[in-house]
Amino acid sequence: MLLFKIFKKIAGIFGFKLIDKDLIKNDRELGKYSSFSIDNTFNNLFSNNQINFLIQIGSNDGKRFDTINKFIKKYSPKSILVEPIKKDFEELKNNYRDQKDIFFENSAISVNDSIKYLYKVDETKYELYDEHIKGISSFKIHHLIKHGVSKSHIIKENINSISIKDLLVKYSINKLDLLIIDAEGYDGDIVIDFLSNISLRPTIVFEYIHISHKTFKKLVELLIFKNYNFYKLDENVICFPAEIKNSKKYIN
């Protein structure tokens, strides 16, 4: 405990803030049994035919801690699954190999072409950490460090990147029902870029817990300006365009 406190103090000096892991674990445990969850909400949306075309950014391998997997396989919406890490991307394609109407994009979504590589945990060190460690790749090395990863266990992988606007152009998208994002803290930048430059108005789901307060405040203000209604569910925020009447009925 003393060592952790010393490490936390040193990290603070260099501008890093360590996440309270108990807070995250408690939030996840509560989410398993809460009457309101992203899983139940997705079930309501899909069963009411609200989602026919979706984009998932940060698909990982399509299995690990993936809330959308079973709904894609059950309802077969047209989907674009985006994952930059090559090994995870290959596993993602294999996981959906029998599914129709899925397009796979081996890229990171980047604002202003700012992402050229990601930091990830060396696969040979996975056994030293819990299961979540496989899904925390980030363009910021301190994102991994604040999760308790030793710097010596972190490697860098060069990746392809594409903007959200160029992604939509590439796949000729003119209608979108759901945009779901898990980008380990970069979620806010992607949503802000989308809301600022794209006229489509899908339901948007993103993980909020790793977004800086400054970015998150800007994002909330933009959601209000763009006339979105939004709710916290588990570690996510789900945002409905105002034209979806009585959107709260889907929250369950």
Residue spans of the domains in the chain: they are: 34-116+159-250
Contacts of 232 (CB under 8 A, 6+ apart): 208
- Average pLDDT estimate for 80-86: 95
Is pLDDT above 50 for 7? no
Is pLDDT above 90 for 166? yes
Give dist(CA 213, CA 216) in Å, integer: 5
Please tell me the CATH code under which domain 34-116+159-250 is placed: 3.40.50.150
For residue 25, what pLDDT is reported?
A: 56
- Average pLDDT estimate for 151-168: 94
Is pLDDT above 50 for 1? no
Contact 206, 176 (CB under 8 A): no
The candidate with the shortest Cα–Cα distance to 103, out of 165, 160, 168, is 168
pLDDT band at 32 (very low <50, low <70, confident <90, very high): low
| 204-215 confidence digits (pLDDT tens) | 999 998 899 999
Is pLDDT above 60 for 220? yes
Quick one: the chain helix, strand, coil %, rounded to 5? 40, 20, 40
pLDDT band at 31 (very low <50, low <70, confident <90, very high): low
Contact 38, 12 (CB under 8 A): no
Is pLDDT above 60 for 77? yes
